Amino acid sequence: MKQQGIVIERKKGNILEIKITPHETCHKCGACSTKSVNKITFCGEISESIHVGDNVEIEVESGYLVFSYFIVYICPLLCFFPIIFFLFKFTSSPIISFAGGVCGIFFFYILIGILFRKQQQFSKHLKIRKT
């Protein structure tokens, strides 16, 4: 996936803030949240030649994009259903088992957020270059 943007701020180190303007195909797909003008913060390997006001192209490896979708959408369901089954087997209460499944999804998202933020996994799979 490739996206065009403009560098609006360069922070200390290798951190850029980029304003992304979606193209026509973004409105049809909806895979990312770029239906309107958005800002993202990028941290990773950045060339020193990229400055504020430069047009840049951001590219995400397609394999990692599919992996990210799997982590965000499929894994919570894989967490949700076994918890419901386990709790229903021992409590026989659909309300308790459903609440436990929802709590499992909640804690799964917190864990994934902490791991991705701590390891900055996403930045390794982004490429940014000046256009």
Structure tokens at 73: 């959408």
pLDDT along the chain (131 residues), means of 10: 79 74 60 57 68 80 80 88 93 93 92 72 66 77
Within a 10 A sphere around the Cβ of 93, how many other Cβ atoms? 12
Structure tokens at 105: 């999804």
Residue in 122, 104, 124, 129 with CA at minimum distance from that of residue 32: 122
Please check whether residues 77 and 88 belong to one and the same domain.
yes
Q: Based on the structure, what is the number of domains in the chain?
A: 2
Please check whether residues 36 and 18 belong to one and the same domain.
yes
pLDDT of residue 104: 92
Please check whether residues 114 and 71 belong to one and the same domain.
yes
Please check whether residues 9 and 57 belong to one and the same domain.
yes
Query: Which amino acid makes up residue 112?
Result: I
Domain of 91? Answer: 64-119
Please check whether residues 8 and 47 belong to one and the same domain.
yes
Provide the whole-model pTM: 0.57
Distance, CA of 21 to chain centre: 18
Please check whether residues 21 and 50 belong to one and the same domain.
yes
Beta bridge partners of 58: 3, 128
